[in-house]
């Protein structure tokens, strides 16, 4: 029997609620496939700051170091609550970015997927959404503005200032480019490169390296689009996209727009791949506005499990089963409230209700 150790980081807000549903599915997958998932939880995020004085405690680092993969719930507090934690120890800067840096998880896969049967969840017009959408945003995750040099201070004339730099070197760009071209090669053979080279020098280098790497992939067509225009095309014609690649900050923003196109951020799982370790998390945050109400959509968290099964454990067919089980739940007219429009005939269910139905559907496959 193969054994996989998985570190579970529940996080904050809706994190524990949606993690519970992911664990339900992991346990079922273990039972069905005769694999042993050793699940161990670690404190991480604002909750960890209040309990341990550190949002990424040493024992959690040790747990993650020893795990084969990490499943992470969203972290963070509301704007007001965040002020209770010193800026550098807030869970985004104090836990999440250090986690990404620790495992060098440079390649972030954020699928924007809405099959035909649930295309009506999209707020876009039926003629725009058509038979649904299926594209993937590949976001560089450990460079750019997020990890560049930062300086804050006061000028000689007494004005507060801040500088943060958008930094990339050619190796960082080349490695994400290769991941993007390889992904495009396996899909439709078209790669949309999103940039801002009309202003940013970082994008000039980014595009140069993209084209250089592209020479090794003659079967992939590269199309360059400025990031501002890309934001518009995502609304007007999202079906033109198959694989999109972009730097860290652009990817943060456009991937949330992806969630908007689907109808909810609750439909956005993700995989964060490093050279040796990967971690999996929803693309969205801790949703403080709905935390504790048992109404969060656990699709993003269960979808992150499916990505883990495929990308870390090679369990491709079981991963497909998990996706299919979730689609079957929607196909029967059930959904959490984020996707249920007033007046529609959607049968509203709770977070754990969704998880139970997914487990039931998965058992049939
Ligand atoms: P958010 O993504 O938490 O929420 C935005 C909106 O989407 C809210 O209305 C929320 O209710 C809804 N939403 C998100 N996930 C949902 C789900 N699974 N089901 C149903 N509805 C869902 O963004 P925010 O409110 O701007 O940020 C809250 C906190 O999360 C902040 O502290 C932020 O820094 C943090 N954050 C963390 C991560 C992460 O851990 N990777 C990602 C994004 C934001
Ligand atoms: C995300 C989040 C993070 C990011 C924050 C919480 C640091 O928004 O994963 O998209 O900006 O990368
Ligand atoms: Mn984000």
In the prediction, which pLDDT does 225 show? 98
Q: Does residue 184 sit in the same domain as residue 64?
A: no
Q: Which residues of 172-182 are buried (b: 16+ CB within 10 A; e: fewer)?
A: bbebbbebbbe
- Do 78 and 18 sit in the same domain of this protein? yes
Which stretches does DSSP call E strand in the chain? 3-9, 36-41, 69-72, 107-114, 133-140, 150-154, 160-164, 190-195, 221-226, 243-246, 271-273, 278-280, 334-335, 347-348
Q: Tell me: do 116 and 260 sit in the same domain.
A: yes
Count of H helices and E strands in the chain? 14, 14
- pLDDT recorded at residue 345: 77
Same domain, 38 and 180: no
Last residue of a domain, one of 235, 267, 299: 267
Is 256 found in the same domain as 127?
yes
Backbone angles phi, psi at 291, to 5 degrees: -60, 145
- 19 shares its domain with 44: yes
Q: Report, as residue numbers or ranges, the catalytic residues.
A: 146, 196, 228, 252, 256
The model's confidence at residue 341, banded by pLDDT at 50, 70 and 90, is confident
Domains identified in the chain, total number = 2
Q: Stretch 44-61: mean pLDDT, rounded? A: 98
Q: Is the CB of 289 under 6 A from ligand 1?
A: yes
Task: Look up the pTM and report it.
Answer: 0.97
Query: Which ranges of 67-169 does DSSP label H, i.e. alpha helix?
Result: 79-82, 91, 97-102, 126-129
pLDDT tens per residue across span 179-221: 999 999 999 999 999 999 999 999 999 999 999 999 999 999 9
CATH classification of the domain holding 194: 3.40.718.10
Residues 154 and 260 in one domain: yes
Q: What percent of the chain has pLDDT over 90?
A: 97
145 within 8 A of 248, measured Cβ to Cβ: yes
Are 142 and 179 within one domain?
A: yes
The finding on whether 296 has its CB within 6 A of some atom of ligand 1 is yes
Closest CA to 168 of 182, 152, 149: 149
What are the two backbone dihedrals, phi and then psi, of residue 193, each rounded to the nearest 5 degrees? -95, 120
Nearest to residue 165, comparing CAs of 248, 87, 76, 254?
248
CA distance 286 to 82: 12
Indicate the DSSP class of residue 247: -
Residue at which a domain ends, from 201, 232, 267 = 267
Q: Both 129 and 197 in a single domain?
A: yes
Which residue's CA is the nearest one to ligand 1's atom 27? 285
Q: Which of 112, 249, 252 to mutate to test the pocket of ligand 2 (most atoms within 8 A of CB)?
A: 252
Distance 252 CA to ligand 3 centre (A): 5
Same domain, 81 and 24: yes
Residues 252 and 115 in one domain: yes
Q: Whole domain around residue 243: which residue ranges?
A: 110-267
Residues 260 and 280 in one domain: no
Closest by CA position to 269, among listed 277, 355, 312, 279: 279
- Edge-to-edge order in the sheet of strand 69-72: 36-41, 3-9, 69-72, 278-280, 271-273, 107-114, 133-140, 243-246, 190-195, 221-226
Among residues 240, 267, 294, which one ends one of the domains? 267
pLDDT band, very low/low/confident/very high, at 340 (cuts 50, 70, 90): confident
Residue 75 and residue 92 in contact, taking contact as beta carbons nearer than 8 Å: yes
């Amino acid at each position: 029997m193969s054994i996989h150790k998985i570190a579970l980081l529940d996080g904050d807000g809706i994190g524990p609620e949606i993690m519970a549903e992911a664990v339900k599915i992991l346990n079922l997958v273990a039972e069905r496939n005769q694999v042993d998932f050793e699940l161990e939880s670690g404190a991480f995020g604002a909750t960890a700051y209040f309990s341990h004085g550190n949002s990424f405690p040493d024992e959690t680092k040790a747990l993650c170091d020893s795990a084969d993969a990490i499943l992470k719930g969203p972290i963070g507090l509301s704007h007001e609550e965040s002020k209770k934690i010193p800026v550098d120890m807030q869970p985004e800067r104090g836990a999440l970015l250090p986690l990404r840096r620790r495992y060098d998880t440079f390649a972030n896969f954020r699928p924007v997927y809405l099959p035909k049967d649930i295309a009506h969840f999209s707020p876009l017009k039926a003629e725009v959404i058509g038979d649904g959408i299926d594209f993937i945003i590949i976001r560089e995750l450990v460079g750019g503005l997020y990890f560049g040099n930062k300086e804050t201070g006061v000028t000689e004339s007494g004005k507060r200032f801040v500088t943060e730099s958008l930094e990339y070197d050619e190796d960082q760009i080349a490695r994400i480019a290769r991941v993007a071209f390889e992904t495009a090669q396996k899909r439709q053979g078209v790669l949309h490169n999103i940039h801002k080279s009309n202003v940013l020098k970082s994008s000039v280098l980014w595009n140069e390296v993209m084209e250089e790497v592209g020479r090794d992939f003659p079967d992939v067509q590269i199309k360059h689009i400025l990031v501002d225009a890309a934001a518009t095309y995502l609304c007007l014609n999202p079906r033109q996209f198959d694989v999109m690649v972009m730097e860290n900050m652009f990817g943060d923003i456009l991937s949330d727009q992806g969630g908007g196109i689907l109808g909810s951020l609750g439909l956005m799982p993700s995989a964060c791949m490093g050279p040796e370790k990967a971690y999996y998390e929803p693309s969205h945050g801790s949703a403080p506005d709905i935390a504790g109400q048992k109404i969060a959509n656990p699709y993003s968290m269960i979808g992150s499990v499916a990505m883990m099964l495929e990308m870390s454990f090679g369990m491709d067919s079981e991963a497909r089963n998990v996706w299919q089980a979730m689609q079957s739940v929607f196909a029967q007219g059930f959904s959490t409230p984020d996707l249920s429009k007033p007046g529609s005939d959607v049968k509203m269910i709770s977070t754990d209700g969704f998880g139970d139905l997914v487990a039931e559907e998965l058992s049939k496959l």
